[in-house]
Amino acid sequence: MTDRLIETVRERYAQAALSVLQPDAATPCCADEEADMFGAGLYDRLDRESLPDAALLASLGCGNPTAVADLREGERVLDLGSGGGIDVLLSARRVGPTGRAFGVDMTDEMLTLARRNAAEAGATNVEFVKGRIEDVPLPTGSIDVVISNCVINLSTDKPAVFAEMARLLRPGGRVGVSDIVSDDDLAPEQRAERGSYVGCIAGALSFAEYRAGLETAGFRDVAITPTRAVADGMWSAIVQAVRA
């Protein structure tokens, strides 16, 4: 089941990238059931106007993590599940020429699209690497800030994701994530009734599960703030934490 879910997710996002690279392809969304709650419309107008159209078209997230990550000049930021590169490009602008923005994605088609978008944007302080968010090919302690946009809920091994985030961050490093989170009283099967796994709903953690997972991995000052409902008892949320 786990391998099948991973491949289903990979295929869905490969198709999303191809829908931009090859406009005649079908266009899936992170959550087909709630398409108006995901995507480029969640970014402010000035951010949207500064990005290549293809980066906007490939945006499938549930928030804008760069708006809450408090990125600073010179920092090194990593986007887990970087897709078409929208959050990497916005991060690169915020950290400036002395900083660097990395994106990791397991989908070749998304990496192709992201690199094309970076070239079009003239971004020279970005790097996209192939890998899974449970096993990122970057050195331990090399990152100041980890961001992610509606991707952690898609992982089939979330404790491994949290442990990898802790490994990559320097002590005192920060997390600024947008993700889907469920009410604590919803069992996994009830979450699955509200939306599909590839639609970013069925795989969501509860508020308590998310907090416990981060704290077990070595994070402190965990804050999970719901921003809007995406289904009954399911929320788009901002997740912030500090590496102990």
Global pTM value? 0.86
| Section 50-62 average pLDDT | 53
Q: Could you tell me whether strands 234-243 and 219-231 are parallel, antiparallel, or unpaired per DSSP bridges?
A: antiparallel
Residue 214 pLDDT greater than 60, yes or no: yes
Query: Do 163 and 169 touch, CB atoms closer than 8 A?
Result: no
What is the helix (H) or strand (E) element at residue 171, kind and residue range? strand 169-182
> Can you say how many angstroms the Cα of residue 92 is from the centroid of all Cα atoms in its chain?
16
Give the range among 38-42, 83-87, 130-134, 183-187 with minimum mean pLDDT.
Answer: 38-42
Could you tell me which residue, 169 or 83, shows the higher pLDDT? 169
Lowest mean pLDDT among 54-63, 113-122, 220-229: 54-63
Task: Give ∠ CA 153-120-44 in degrees, rounded to 5.
Answer: 50
Residue 236's domain spans which residues?
2-243
Domain count, the chain: 1
Task: Specify the CATH number for the domain of residue 214.
Answer: 3.40.50.150
Percentage of the chain exceeding pLDDT 70: 81
pLDDT tens by residue, 110-122 = 899 999 999 998 9
- Of 24 and 220, the one with more pLDDT: 220
| Burial of residue 112, with CB atoms counted within 10 A of its CB: 0-12 exposed, 13-18 middle, 19 or more buried | middle
Q: What share of the chain is helix, strand, coil (3-state, %, to 5)?
A: 40, 25, 35
